[in-house]
Structure 1
């Protein structure tokens, strides 16, 4: 599972720029790794490595300066940062977050249906035992009816 690409909009332009900068940084680190691995120890190869390292330092500086200014409107949950620091994929956090919320929503839906059934059964029994309270019971049922089809199971 990989992170999808963003649709360019004016509101997420800084985020797209930051993603491009990080992508360029990764590419530069790979190129530096190749240069270090293939370094022959000659002055030319040493100079190429130094040039690439200086270029990488400039890229890191630019990315840091631009990101601090432009990404303050995009808060990142601490849990996502922890996932990344632990070397885990942040998409896993997103998937787990959605799964936990889906389970919680299902549990709450079940509770709401249970209380609705309890209300209806209790209301019917109260109307049978105390016919004089029928209007009050109907009023309570009407006021507590959610009128939400998703709760009713549709």
Structure 2
């Protein structure tokens, strides 16, 4: 048997939706015993489709955060959860960027003070600063 893919699970989900639509149509146009066979057949197809969907979807390694499940259970839009999560990550990134810049300024101030008070260490300080700048450039350029 071929491995399950998200596309095959998607197709099976579409089959379930189609079965539900057909059952809805049968119930809406129910005329008694003459339409009962079609309704029973569609209900059997639905159970078969649901079984196939259940079996195939459990084979996929899809992990959803429990928070998003709770969001949906509360009747809320999962897109709002995603947007809020992105906003939290952006704020955190801005905070960490500020800390990084503050440490870089502190490093430069400390280097200036070391050179001012210990002039004999100027060569070592400059080599350390140059090494840090090269590391920063490599990180920024993705090297």
TM superposition score category, shorter chain reference: 0.7 to 0.9
Taking structure 1 as the reference length, the TM-score comes to: 0.71
Which residue of structure 1 lines up, in the alignment, with residue 119 of structure 2?
131
User: What are the equivalent positions in structure 2 for 1:12-51 lying under 5 Å apart?
Assistant: 14-40=5-31, 42-51=32-41
Q: CA deviation at 1:61?
A: 0.7
Q: Which has the larger radius of gyration?
A: 2
Which consecutive residues of structure 1, in runs of 5 or more, have no partner in the other structure?
1-10
Distance in 1 separating the partners of 2:18 and 2:75: 19
Aligned length: 137
Which consecutive residues of structure 2, in runs of 5 or more, have no partner in the other structure?
none
Task: Let me know the Cα RMSD of the aligned residues.
Answer: 2.7
> Which residue among 42, 46, 63 is the counterpart of 1:52?
42
User: What are the equivalent positions in structure 2 for 1:1-154 lying under 5 Å apart?
Assistant: 14-40=5-31, 42-69=32-59, 71=60, 73-145=61-133, 146-148=135-137
Taking structure 2 as the reference length, the TM-score comes to: 0.75
Q: CA deviation at 1:131?
A: 1.6
Q: CA deviation at 1:44?
A: 1.9
Compared with structure 1, are the counterparts of its residues 31 and 43 closer, same or farther at alpha carbon in structure 2 (3 Å cutoff)?
Answer: same
Equivalent position SS for 2:58: helix
Q: CA deviation at 1:115?
A: 0.9
